[in-house]
Amino acid sequence: MKAINVVGAVIQNEQGEILCALRSSTMSMPNLWEFPGGKIKEGEAPEEALVREIQEELGCRLQVGELVANIVHEYPTIKVRLLTYHAKIIEGEPKALEHAELRWVSKDHLTSIEWAPADLPTVARVVE
């Protein structure tokens, strides 16, 4: 089974809402919500990967904070190790450059949207 390492950002705004990204119809697991991020390249630190991925996907710069969760999830064809970090936007406004939609969601409503399975443990930690 193929294995990949990915990172995700738990970005909170001034109102305490969390930035959620809807996977587009052309992505694997389309129309499911996720924390924005992406694959870690060979030799890249997870925090560096997260800064790069957010720049590519959302067009803004991040400051990476503490680790939220380190999850391994097995899908039918791939094993994903997902590292999610608290992060803060330090430059720019997030735009959906690769996702179908971006939405700021209050912590109370995070469980009401349909998440990619690997993101569910992070959602649980964020709403605790």
- Split into its structural domains, the chain has a count of 1
34 is in an annotated binding site: yes
91 is in an annotated binding site: no
37 is in an annotated binding site: yes
Q: pLDDT tens-digit profile of 60-113?
A: 999 999 999 999 999 989 999 999 999 999 999 999 999 999 999 999 999 999
72-103 in b/e form (b: 16+ CB < 10 A) is eeeeeeeebbbbbbebebeeeebebebbeebe
35 is in an annotated binding site: yes
Q: 115: which residues sit within 8 A by CB, 6+ positions away?
A: 32, 33, 34, 123
Q: What is the CATH number of the domain that holds 70?
A: 3.90.79.10
57 is in an annotated binding site: yes
What is the model's pTM? 0.93
**Residue 100 structural domain:** 2-127
